Amino acid sequence: MDRQSLAVAVAQILVRHLPQSADEETVAAVVADLVAHIESRSAAPESDDRRLVVVTVMGKNHSGIVHAFSEVLAENAVDIVDINQTLVHGNFAMMMIVDLTGARCDVQGLKAALKKRGEEVGVQVYCQYEDIMRAVNRI
C-alpha cells in the first residue's frame, strides 16, 4: 500500500468514527495532512545523532497550557516529534518528544526555559533525555 492509499484508508476510518460534520473536503484536508506528516517523518533523520528529549507537563487543567509550551519550543527552534495529552485523575498531562538537533538551546537551556514557563502557568515540567525512556522501557 503506497502512502497515498494508506492515508485514504486512515481517513476513511476517521470519517466512519467522526461526527457527521466531516465532509469530503475535510477528508481531503486530512489526507493531505497525513501525507505531509508521514513524508516529513520518513525524511527526518532516524539516526542516533538526533537529540530527543521527553518533556512531560503535569498540573491542574486550564486553557492555554499547550500554547504556552509550544511557544517556548518554537522560540528555541525545537522540533516537536511527537505529542500526546490526556487527563490523569482530572489533572492535565502532556507528553512531548522533541528533537534538539538544530535547536538554539541545549537540554539544560530548554529545561530552564520550560520550568520558568511552567511556574508562570502553574504546572510541573519534567525534561529528560529520551535515552532514559529507552533504557527503562525497552529490552
Residue 4 or 85: which CB sits closer to another protein? 85
Contact flag: residue 42 with another protein (CB under 8 A): no
Instruction: Identify the residue among 33, 71, 82, 119 touching another protein (CB under 8 A).
Output: 82
- Cα→Cα distances 105→6, 90, 100, 112, 113, Å: 37, 33, 8, 10, 10
Answer whether 128's CB lies under 8 Å from 54's CB.
yes
Q: Which residue has the cell 502532556?
A: 94
Residues 99 and 51: their CA atoms lie apart, in Å, by: 6
Closest distance of CB 12 from another protein, Å: 23
Which residue's CB is nearer to another protein, number 79 or number 130? Answer: 130
Among 56, 61, 102, 104, interactor with another protein by CB under 8 A: 56
For position 108 contacting another protein by CB under 8 A, the verdict is: yes
**Per CB under 8 A, does 111 bind another protein?**
yes
All residues at 6 or more sequence positions from 83 whose CB lies less than 8 Å from its CB, including other chains = 94, 95, 96, 97
Distance CA 65, CA 45 (A): 29
Question: Which span sits near another protein by CB under 8 A: 16-24, 25-33, 34-42, 82-90?
Answer: 82-90
**Binding residues for another protein (CB under 8 A):** 54, 56, 81-82, 84, 86, 88, 93, 95, 97, 107-108, 111, 126-133, 135-137, 139
